[in-house]
Structure 1
Amino acid sequence: MYKYPVPAMRHCYFHFHRKIRFSLCLALFLIGLGIFCAAVCNCADSDTWIAQFLTEDQQTSPDAVHNSDSAIGQTSITDADTAFDAFLSKLFRQEASANLLNLHYTLENPSAYGITEYQASLGSYTSDSPKKAAAFAENILTTLLQFDSENLSSENQLTLDILNDHLTQAKAGADFYCYDEPLTPTTGLQSQIPILLAEYTFHNQQDISDYLELLTDIPRYFSQICAYEEEKAAAGRFMPSYTARTIVDQCHDFTSNPKQHYLVTTFNQKSAALTDLSKNEQLAYQEQNQAILEQEVFPAFNLLTDTLEKLSDRTINEAGLCHFPEGTKYYEYLVQDCTGSSDSIDSLKKRTANQRKEDLLLISQLLEQNPDLPAESENCAIAPQSPEEMLATLRDAISEEFPVFPECNVTVKYVNEAMEDYLSPAFYLTSPLDHLTENAIYINQKNGYEGLRLFTTLAHEGFPGHLYQNVYFHSVCDLPIRSLLSYPGYTEGWATFVELHSYTYSGLSADAARLCAANQAAILSLYATADIGIHYDGWTLDDTATFFSTYGFTDEEVLRDIFELIVGEPANYLKYYIGYLEFHDLQEDMKKQNPDTYTDSAFYEKVLEIGPAPFKILRAYVLGNR
């Protein structure tokens, strides 16, 4: 069910904040000037990286789940819920154990879930993986037809609906040969695997053995990725040359300091912390890790570098997906997959533009009433706090509005300097299902986030964003299969939705909080519009520059960076902004449906308990149509 064999990393969206954010804020705050004056007058008068579920290893025997020893799907079983639960358990065991990195981040104690055998592998990645995934999905969908939704509990009905949707989406992905891209500038496997290896926990000696065996699988896996990229180039669908250069630079940086590499220091620290290992055993493992990195892992990254450098002159498209033969249809598929929205691209484009107008009008009205509001946000009292203090402030602040969730710990960590140029401003690593108490949030210090911007970023990643949503949902849902059903539109949309709300916890006045939230939403809408413009409407760099110049951007270097980032990460910004809009609209619809009884707390509790899902299903369950 997942595209890439890596566990969940929930990201903060990447902005060029240091270069353009403040120029945009200035543009939005200058009421009465230029286009903003015209827009206001017109209005007044009249938008983890996660482990692969349908891995190639399972796809080779798609009957494995269907013909299970628990007789799943047999009409002789009278207890529908018992049969369905058994089916889900077997499916989860099969998929969670498909690759070790996924299993380790999903479960701390796999044997408690009946998983005693697993492969120390990253899975497989080939051009025919989508077709094999589709065949597997078709088989499971056939089995699901044997379960009558009316005979299932409400929780199982919901899971059946979501599973049907997820598998149907997997089938749709089979139609696009060599369009998928595992190597992208900020969310590609080359930037995310190293972080996940650095965070790989050692609870016992078996974890160390598994980890070292996993390292030895990287050359095989990267060889498959290289072969896939060569096949993409032969099909005329290789990545833009500037994207290839960015990824090559990442790989060079990763291998630049082999003796003092962070995968050496983190391994040494974690192995030394295991008290059941003797000093000699610790030293032996540490030497083995160093040798594997130097002899196998770093050469695998060098192979990736050599392959991309060799293929970079075979790029035929340096712009959006729509310039490929089936690129427009693929983008439509990708947007639905990333956002969980069933709306057409044209509808999303209109909705994004309309919301931007509303936000700009609100900004102008607030500033007309109080021109000093921008100064208030710049002097926010939250600024001197450390990240840990900000998280504590947020956790206390949300207690009156959001459902109570289990006690948990969160550790703030910092991205290694070698990876700062390529990773998101911040990200949250999801905790294992059976150990929700320990969580980690990474901050990329190179982005220079501090004060109010850091505060809202931590709200996005922590409370009430990703960390809170993940821990709360898995504390109320006892179906582990749900952890393998990825809906980034829900998870990133929720984090963005509550990030904008978090301005109210920062000590700002109500109007200043509304101003900051509207400004941030307007910024995101520009990226969302540009994403659609570049990949669906065929915008060139000049077209993109013209669009942004309408809102005050003229820096050519920054505009080129924006264009190249969006080309390299199609639909990435939409999962944040469209996801946010879906939550925004659903909240408004719930208010209209229940004008006398609606509360924000009830809305939050409802959507959090349903959990990650496509928005058509979330909407149906929230509004009582299902």
Structure 2
Amino acid sequence: MTNKFFKRGRWLISIFLVVSLLCSCTPPPKSAATPSGTGYEHYNAADVSMQKNFDLFTDDLFRNEISNSGISFHFTMADPASRGLKTVPLTLGDFSLDNMKKNSKDLAELKKKLNQFNPRKLTKDQRLTYQILYSYIDTEMASEGLELYTQPLTTTIGIQAQLPVLFAEYAFYKKDDVDHYLSLLSTIDDYYSQILEFEKQKSEAGLFMSDSAADHVLKSCEAYLIQPDHSFLSETFNTRIDALNDLTPEEKAAYKEKNLKVLEEHFVPAYKNLINGITALMGTGKNDKGLSWYPEGKKYFEYLVNSNTGTSYDSVDSLKKAIEKQITSDIKALGQITKENPKVLDQLDTYSFNVTKPEDILESLKSQIAKDFPELPKNQYTVKYVPKALESSLSPAFYLVPPIDRYEDNIIYINGNPRFQNDDLYTTLAHEGYPGHLYQNVYFLSKSPNDLRSILSFSSYSEGWATYVENYSYTLDNGLDPDLGKLLAHNSAVTLGIYAYLDICINYEGWDKEQTAKYLSTFYNVEKTDIVDSIYNSLVENPTNYMEYYVGYLEIMEMRNAAEKILKDKFNLKEFHTFLLDIGPAPFSVILPEFRNWLGKELRSS
């Protein structure tokens, strides 16, 4: 993860469900060729029957998956009754080692059920869903036996940091939602007790976090130890209650009082117990270096790379070489720009964008991207600011994925912490808004995809896209010298690439802090120990997090470069973007064959 954003995909799903429904890597074993003919798909009665059964299969899987967590359930659908779902699960989920092991067995059963379908007999859209699901199952089954390597508590992207934000954004569409909210909030202490028990099991297995990492988690927890009546959770609750029209003033007052009681009796104690529990476990974490220093750390890192990036590369080593190649390409581009325009370097410390207010930036981006991106249906957004109490523990900005049946309503958060004041808000909002996360989600959900596909979490597709368009935004009409915009875009790519490269070196090859410092000093003139410490600790505490962003960007750039090289003057950037958006969130191991088919069609039509 870059230093700007929450982990995305349907991140709220992947955090709260013990098995995040669907990450991926390996292609399916059976051919999924499109039926030949006139351009229409032809099926016999048996094929149609299989297609109906496949829809029932994916529909049941969707229903079961979102029913594991009340938070996931609510954030996925504003109107669950429209899908025939009437019972809201009043639980935050089951975060236990036993449940993780059970889920591993469930995956094997799911694979057997999936194998009953012949992808040749499915529709084009169904075949894509089949491939994605098959890829996910194969990838996740590789984590069996490695459950205790899971890291639920980490700085910024851990459950303890993100769950309160979801509660603050829990929409009240009607009175029942308030009751469900309070019931769910009342279970947070039990849920955190499960996580703490899991951390104790990690400790007993010699897999607990280092004291440095634990200290960072404790600091993020302390941000929530505030008086209930001065809590952002009470403020946001009161605002949502006041907006409900079907409650009397007396009912509103009673709900507000009940919320304060729940915060006092469950929420604050949950964080106090978590702090006490983590503090008691400090000293039991023996490894302050990367994953490879654990017994099966390299194996777990390989799993994380496949699960979190969905890369088309078949090994960590081959992916590392691709990262080196892309970094080199961007560095060469930097050199070419400065060679042709040496004075551009003089602008690095003084540049500014011509729009600075969030809403103005988003509107500017929305109007300018029309030439290179397909049109969106009607949508709206609200820009909010991170509560003061959480500024030190949350990202500079993040986007919340809307319910699949209310994709028109979107929310972007900005962190006003002074330490982020030098971040470029223009490009950050391109990442979070247009043509980034907001745009990509609205586009995909407006196509009414299979419900199961709407909750599949492929963060490298989502973050890769957002990173790619963030760099694209530097080249728009934004007040920058065009050469400076290109320079900043390539520099941003190089910086993120270094993090991805070091992620592999530290967590897979076993580099220590001294080796990391030598690399940064030798190749990038980074001498300050505080910077080295920050980079090293961030990569140790969040393996593959930055890779989710960079590998997605890398895969997209490789496809674009190939298309430009092959299609030459026939290449159309808008058509390329439309292809990526139409295919939607998926692992790149599945996207790449689809890209080759698209490229072939473009060649034949040119």
The two structures share one fold, judged by TM-score above 0.5: yes
User: Matched residue pairs, number?
Assistant: 569
- Separation (CA, whole Å) in 2 of partners of 1:384 and 1:401: 21
- Separation (CA, whole Å) in 1 of partners of 2:206 and 2:469: 41
- 2:13 alignment partner in structure 1: 51
Amino acid at match of 2:13: A
- Separation (CA, whole Å) in 1 of partners of 2:342 and 2:18: 59
- 1:438 alignment partner in structure 2: 409
SS class of match (2:143): helix
**In the alignment, is the contact (CA less than 8 A) between 2:19 and 2:103 conserved in 1?**
no
- 1:356 alignment partner in structure 2: 327
- TM-score of the superposed pair, with normalisation by structure 1: 0.87
- 1:604 alignment partner in structure 2: 577
Which runs of structure 2 are paired with 1:214-613 in the superposition (5 Å)?
214-343=184-313, 344-376=315-347, 380=351, 382-446=353-417, 448-449=419-420, 453-505=424-476, 506-550=478-522, 551-595=524-568, 597-613=570-586
- 1:97 alignment partner in structure 2: 67
- Separation (CA, whole Å) in 2 of partners of 1:15 and 1:107: 27
Amino acid at match of 1:174: E
When structure 1 is superposed on structure 2, of 594-603 and 221-230 the one drifting more is 594-603
Deviation at 1:15, TM superposition (A): 6.7
- Separation (CA, whole Å) in 1 of partners of 2:503 and 2:516: 10
Deviation at 1:326, TM superposition (A): 0.2
SS class of match (1:360): helix
**In the alignment, is the contact (CA less than 8 A) between 1:423 and 1:444 conserved in 2?**
yes
Amino acid at match of 2:437: H
- Separation (CA, whole Å) in 1 of partners of 2:4 and 2:381: 25
- Which of 569, 592, 596 in structure 2 is aligned with 1:619? 592
Q: Determine if the alignment matches structure 1 residue 147 to structure 2 residue 120.
A: no
- Separation (CA, whole Å) in 2 of partners of 1:553 and 1:461: 29
Which runs of structure 2 are paired with 1:125-204 in the superposition (5 Å)?
125-204=95-174
When structure 1 is superposed on structure 2, of 169-178 and 489-498 the one drifting more is 169-178
Residues 224-268 of structure 1 deviation map (CA, whole Å, 9 limit, x = unaligned)? 100000000000000111111111111122113333010011111
Deviation at 1:151, TM superposition (A): 1.3
**In the alignment, is the contact (CA less than 8 A) between 2:356 and 2:425 conserved in 1?**
no
Residues 125-161 of structure 1 deviation map (CA, whole Å, 9 limit, x = unaligned)? 1123332222212212111112111111111110110
**In the alignment, is the contact (CA less than 8 A) between 2:292 and 2:510 conserved in 1?**
yes
- 1:21 alignment partner in structure 2: none
- Separation (CA, whole Å) in 2 of partners of 1:128 and 1:501: 45
Deviation at 1:589, TM superposition (A): 2.0
When structure 1 is superposed on structure 2, of 502-511 and 457-466 the one drifting more is 502-511
**In the alignment, is the contact (CA less than 8 A) between 2:327 and 2:493 conserved in 1?**
yes
- Separation (CA, whole Å) in 1 of partners of 2:3 and 2:96: 29
Residues 466-505 of structure 1 deviation map (CA, whole Å, 9 limit, x = unaligned)? 1101110111143111122111111111110111111111
Residues 56-92 of structure 1 deviation map (CA, whole Å, 9 limit, x = unaligned)? 7999xxxxxxxxxxxxxxx988522222112211221
SS class of match (1:51): helix
Shift in alpha-carbon separation, 1:381–1:571, aligned structure 2, 3 A = closer
- Separation (CA, whole Å) in 2 of partners of 1:371 and 1:58: 49
**In the alignment, is the contact (CA less than 8 A) between 1:133 and 1:170 conserved in 2?**
no
Could you say what the CA RMSD is over the residues aligned between the two structures, in angstroms? 2.2
Which ranges of structure 2 fall in alignment gaps of 5 or more residues? 22-44, 601-606
Residues 149-192 of structure 1 deviation map (CA, whole Å, 9 limit, x = unaligned)? 11111111101100111122221221314101110111100000
SS class of match (1:194): helix
SS class of match (1:314): coil
SS class of match (2:13): coil
| Percent identity (aligned) | 37
Shift in alpha-carbon separation, 1:542–1:562, aligned structure 2, 3 A = same
SS class of match (2:103): helix
- TM-score of the superposed pair, with normalisation by structure 2: 0.90
Shift in alpha-carbon separation, 1:220–1:278, aligned structure 2, 3 A = same
- Separation (CA, whole Å) in 2 of partners of 1:351 and 1:513: 25
Deviation at 1:55, TM superposition (A): 4.9
Residues 340-359 of structure 1 deviation map (CA, whole Å, 9 limit, x = unaligned)? 11421112222222222222
**In the alignment, is the contact (CA less than 8 A) between 1:352 and 1:529 conserved in 2?**
yes
Amino acid at match of 2:578: E
- 1:116 alignment partner in structure 2: 86
- Separation (CA, whole Å) in 2 of partners of 1:463 and 1:451: 21
Shift in alpha-carbon separation, 1:513–1:284, aligned structure 2, 3 A = same
Amino acid at match of 1:157: R
- Separation (CA, whole Å) in 2 of partners of 1:388 and 1:298: 35
Amino acid at match of 1:186: T
Amino acid at match of 1:512: L
